[in-house]
Amino acid sequence: MSNLKVHWSPIHDDVFCTCSPNKILLYKVVHSTEKPTQKVPSMRQMSDTLWAVEQPKSIEMGMLKTVAWYPKPEPDNMLAIGLANGRVILNNFSGNSESDLIKKEFVPKHTRSCIYLNWNPVDSHLLAEGLEKYRNDSCINIWNIHHKPGNELGDRQRYSSSHSESSGAIHTPYVEIGGPSETTASFCWFKKEPRTFVTGMNTRYLRIYDLRDCTRPQNQTQTKMIRGASVDRQNEHRIATFNENHVSVWDVRNFDKPMLTFQEPKAVSMIRWCPTRKGYLGILSQDSLTVKIYDILHLPQTVGSEELDQYYSERTIKVLNSQIVSSFSWHPKQDSRLLTVTQQGLLRDLIVQEHIPFNWSVDSTLVTAHGKSMSITSFNKDNSIPQDIAVKMKERILQGYGLKSDIIWENVYAIKEEPELYGVWRWLSYAREMLEYNKQGQTFQRGMMGKHLGVKSILGLDVDDMATSHMTNMYWSSDFYRKLACVKQYHSAERSKALQLCGWGGDHHKPELLDTILHELQMDGKYAIAAAMALFNLQISKAIEILSTSKGQENTDLSTVAMAIAGYTEEKNTLWRKTCMSLLQKLEDPYLRAMFAFLTCDRENYEEILTEQGGMQLSDKVAFACIYLDNDKLKEYINRLTRKVIEAGNLDGLLITGLTPDGVSLISRFVDMTGDIQTAALLCVFSLPNEMSKDERVLNWIESYRELLDRWRLWHHRSKFDIIWRAGDNFRVISQAFVSCNFCGKSIACNMPVASRARPHNSYSAGTLTSTKPKISCCPGCRKPLPRCSLCLTHLGTPSGSALYTQKDKTTYSAKMTAIDDWFTWCQSCRHGGHASHLLEWFAEHSECPVTGCNCKCSTLDHTARLAAES
């Protein structure tokens, strides 16, 4: 089996044959879904999805040396078989001779082994045969297969007679090439000039012959690289040959020396140009496990004296693990498809992959190119892949995330599926509320005005200036049936503020506020949280009420807890305590656990609640700490928590830090982990004004987010974002574009105050619109008129942005604005223009400039208008 060869059929896409020295087998390729169900031994796997089915027909023959497949469809699957005695037999697999060519034999004058057979690709009746050296005979015979036996003269005569002499052998070749005792090693026809061929001869010549003049070679070069001559069908100037472990590529136009020579580690056994992919040269070395492919982009070129490099790259194609490749064949039609056979007879059908170029669009679609096809894959709504932040951010902004500046909490409606972001928006909206409240009251102290504060700054922890708080012994609400001992709580104005920020109402003098909050939580179905909050505010019967009235799936759990709490007793080592402990193990809700922890723990020590990891919101823990910890402990706890949230990049932590340097570090960590630049930028903008607004990182986030919106072409969204940003930052944007006068070159807007100063101010407010019109249609600097509208021929000019509109009575939004219809606009190319409304009317029906004699196609030059038209 070691000398196994493989050949694709030149006609059928799914047929190939394998040749061993005494047998030729025909195979048909089938897809694994179509393969015959019964297990036949004559079926072999070629690739993951393809199988080769051995056809029942085969050719068995001794002394088989070489095989060449007839390149025409008729007769079907005809092979020329060269034997060790030099005979050539035409045969097909069916054995029935519907064509007279089948079983035809061509016999050389002297018996010697056949080296190669090669059909002419165009004049397919010509078959070249290479023979071993003989004293007084030529080494290359070219047979005409239509020759009639005995009729040695009729070269081009078609054998049309109806009677067949299949046994009759032909002895005289059409042409003989090469003198006595010359040798030949390889042969290949050219296709573009089908009467010419290249052959390696006499171990040192590569010769090109033309059949029209066979006496001498048309071209020759002296080289040892004479084996395996192969013409590149994609570029017939190129010939590849090899000898031992060298492979050369020649250009027939410059035949003196090889253009390229590759050195292989081992002796080469075959080379083949890929017929479908330009520049692929497949090389098989002896005892090799792989097929090597050189991708020759171009032959070396010289520019001036310098040689251009980078003209080829090499690839190694692994075939099968630890199996020596015996032969390979390029598919004649399909791109870069390679069939290989190993010495053990295993087949492998491969595609030599091109380098796949690809690129991402900003919309998370990936374009890839495979050979001649291109494909687009979108990752927007692919459920098999976890949704990427890029897709998420785009979806959020389209839902209006970050565009609701009036009621900040509304922004979370766009991120319904991401509750982990709720906390920070809750802080922002409470902080904003507090800000508004302070503005009205103007009562808050110490430079905290106008800032979105964190708990830390409210408590004065960041400046180490903590206001004293007084300890109070609070009684449990009296409606509980049992009398309970007091609980220590701490109060101060700052702590109340902090509680307010945490959403706990804060003011213990206003219990109705707490009731509202509890009611809201119950409406949201958060019974456990509501109950816990009630309990921590010492309203034990309220808590029990909430738990027992709960509706929902886990309400059995909740009512059990309600009962348990109802039996609360302060005595230690009671049965109640023990039962609670065992119940505690079963509870999963962190708030229910916290309630028991609160009831059962020693007063003064609330570590269990404060360091809970399960799922209590940070705001609730902070609020709890603000009630029950004294100043030192609170300070220590808040500082510890700050470090923790920064490390974890937990956005909820902004509640504590606010937008301070700590807060920015926290957001930075969040961005590092999630890539969510959107939320980062929004937080920075919504918490304006703040001390960090000039921080490099903050500006970077904002700019990066704006750029992202621009790249998504969400320009309107970006503008809205800019408005929110600038409104918060008290930043005045200076004018960037001016309209200048044709005559004096000054801006027609910035001189307006001068013009208005020339006349007393009140004359405008008293005057009618007609009286101001002449003024706005000329340059305020030089008093020359502005250009005319090319359609209505009146002078242009609007009072927009000028001092003419400082009248006190026109304070409403719409009255302050000049109608956009009156604004002037012009084509950047031909400089003709007019009133916006007139131009819009004109270009609705025309594409050319309205000015007579101007051929400018103004409207087609407008890129954005073009895009709009496309949609």
For residue 139, the minimal CB distance to another protein (Å) is: 36
844 belongs to the binding site for another protein (CB under 8 A):
no
For tokens 């330009």, name the residue. 278
Identify the residue among 333, 446, 510, 759 touching another protein (CB under 8 A).
333
Nearer to another protein, 290 or 600 (CB): 290
Q: What character string, x for contact with another protein (CB under 8 A) and - otherwise, covers 221-260?
A: ----------------------------------------
335 belongs to the binding site for another protein (CB under 8 A):
yes
Residue 364: strand, helix, or coil: coil
CA 351 remoteness from chain centre? 24
Identify the residue among 76, 176, 251, 388 touching another protein (CB under 8 A).
388
> Distance of CA 674 to CAs 235, 393, 395, 751, 755, Å?
53, 11, 16, 51, 56
For the record, the structure tokens of 154 come out as 């009729």
By CB under 8 A, the count of residues binding another protein is: 79
Write down how long the chain is: 871
773 belongs to the binding site for another protein (CB under 8 A):
no
Identify the residue among 1, 374, 754, 766 touching another protein (CB under 8 A).
374
Of 170-178, 303-311, 529-537, 727-735, the window that binds another protein (rule: CB under 8 A) is 303-311
Of 367-375, 526-534, 568-576, 843-851, the window that binds another protein (rule: CB under 8 A) is 367-375
- Distance separating alpha carbons of residues 671 and 704, to the nearest angstrom: 12
What is the torsion angle, in degrees rounded to the nearest 10, for the CA atoms of residue 324, residue 329, residue 331 and residue 335? 60
- Contact, 779 vs 746, CB < 8 A? yes
Nearer to another protein, 526 or 717 (CB): 717
Q: At what angle do helices 493-501 and 422-441 cross, to 10 degrees?
A: 140
Q: What character string, x for contact with another protein (CB under 8 A) and - otherwise, covers 34-73?
A: ---------------x------------------------
For residue 29, the minimal CB distance to another protein (Å) is: 11
Of 379-387, 406-414, 431-439, 559-567, the window that binds another protein (rule: CB under 8 A) is 379-387
Nearer to another protein, 374 or 486 (CB): 374
181 belongs to the binding site for another protein (CB under 8 A):
no
For residue 785, the minimal CB distance to another protein (Å) is: 30
Identify the residue among 221, 230, 364, 537 touching another protein (CB under 8 A).
364
Kindly tell me the burial class for residue 488, based on how many C-beta atoms sit within 10 Å of its own C-beta (0-12, 13-18, 19 or more).
Answer: middle
Beta bridge partners of 25: 18, 58
Applying the rule CB under 8 A, the residues between 690 and 749 that interact with another protein are: 696-697, 700-701, 703-705, 707-708, 711, 713-716
> Distance of CA 396 to CAs 96, 226, 415, 533, 726, Å?
73, 68, 6, 32, 22
For residue 297, the minimal CB distance to another protein (Å) is: 10
The set of residues, in sequence order, having a beta carbon less than 8 Å from that of 106 and lying 6+ positions away, is 87, 88, 89, 127, 129, 141, 143, 145, 169, 170, 171, 173
The set of residues, in sequence order, having a beta carbon less than 8 Å from that of 631 and lying 6+ positions away, is 466, 468, 469, 490
Identify the residue among 13, 155, 213, 417 touching another protein (CB under 8 A).
13
- Distance separating alpha carbons of residues 217 and 206, to the nearest angstrom: 10
Nearer to another protein, 376 or 737 (CB): 376
Nearer to another protein, 608 or 695 (CB): 695
Of 55-63, 196-204, 356-364, 558-566, the window that binds another protein (rule: CB under 8 A) is 356-364
Identify the residue among 310, 321, 443, 770 touching another protein (CB under 8 A).
310
383 belongs to the binding site for another protein (CB under 8 A):
no
Identify the residue among 673, 766, 815, 840 touching another protein (CB under 8 A).
673
Q: Which of 660, 626, 656, 628 is closest to 642 using CA atoms? A: 656
Nearer to another protein, 373 or 812 (CB): 373
Applying the rule CB under 8 A, the residues between 613 and 672 that interact with another protein are: 668, 671-672
Identify the residue among 157, 261, 375, 719 touching another protein (CB under 8 A).
375
Identify the residue among 218, 344, 353, 579 touching another protein (CB under 8 A).
353
Of 377-385, 451-459, 524-532, 789-797, the window that binds another protein (rule: CB under 8 A) is 377-385
Identify the residue among 355, 551, 586, 808 touching another protein (CB under 8 A).
355
322 belongs to the binding site for another protein (CB under 8 A):
no
Of 266-274, 365-373, 404-412, 599-607, the window that binds another protein (rule: CB under 8 A) is 365-373
Q: Which residue pairs, CB below 8 angstroms and at least 24 apart, start in 566-571? A: 568/482, 568/484, 568/540, 568/599, 569/482, 570/484, 570/485
For residue 383, the minimal CB distance to another protein (Å) is: 12
> Distance of CA 269 to CAs 144, 229, 325, 407, Å?
30, 12, 10, 79
For residue 539, the minimal CB distance to another protein (Å) is: 39
Nearer to another protein, 122 or 466 (CB): 122
Identify the residue among 346, 369, 474, 830 touching another protein (CB under 8 A).
369
For residue 321, the minimal CB distance to another protein (Å) is: 12
Nearer to another protein, 56 or 386 (CB): 386
For residue 672, the minimal CB distance to another protein (Å) is: 5
Nearer to another protein, 398 or 754 (CB): 398
Nearer to another protein, 35 or 315 (CB): 315
- Distance separating alpha carbons of residues 532 and 512, to the nearest angstrom: 17
Applying the rule CB under 8 A, the residues between 258 and 277 that interact with another protein are: 276
Q: Which of 167, 129, 133 is closest to 150 using CA atoms? A: 167
For residue 673, the minimal CB distance to another protein (Å) is: 6
Applying the rule CB under 8 A, the residues between 849 and 868 that interact with another protein are: 864-868
For residue 235, the minimal CB distance to another protein (Å) is: 13
Q: Which of 85, 79, 49 is closest to 65 using CA atoms? A: 85
- Distance separating alpha carbons of residues 653 and 246, to the nearest angstrom: 70
DSSP 437-471: HHHHH----TT-TT----HHHHTTTTTT-PPP-EE
Q: Beta strand pairing status for 64-69 and 88-91?
A: unpaired
Nearer to another protein, 69 or 637 (CB): 69
306 belongs to the binding site for another protein (CB under 8 A):
yes
CB burial string 739-775: b at 16+ within 10 A, e below: eebeeeebbbbbbbeebbeeeeeeebeeeeeeebeeb
For residue 736, the minimal CB distance to another protein (Å) is: 16
377 belongs to the binding site for another protein (CB under 8 A):
yes
386 belongs to the binding site for another protein (CB under 8 A):
yes
- Contact, 117 vs 67, CB < 8 A? yes
- Distance separating alpha carbons of residues 272 and 279, to the nearest angstrom: 11
- Contact, 673 vs 645, CB < 8 A? no
Identify the residue among 393, 498, 514, 546 touching another protein (CB under 8 A).
393
Q: At what angle do helices 618-628 and 527-536 cross, to 10 degrees?
A: 10
Nearer to another protein, 607 or 707 (CB): 707
181: Cα within 13 Å, side-chain hemisphere: 1
Q: Which of 100, 104, 94, 124 is closest to 24 using CA atoms? A: 94
Q: At what angle do helices 511-523 and 527-536 cross, to 10 degrees?
A: 160
379 belongs to the binding site for another protein (CB under 8 A):
yes
577 belongs to the binding site for another protein (CB under 8 A):
no
For residue 291, the minimal CB distance to another protein (Å) is: 13
For tokens 């492919």, name the residue. 293
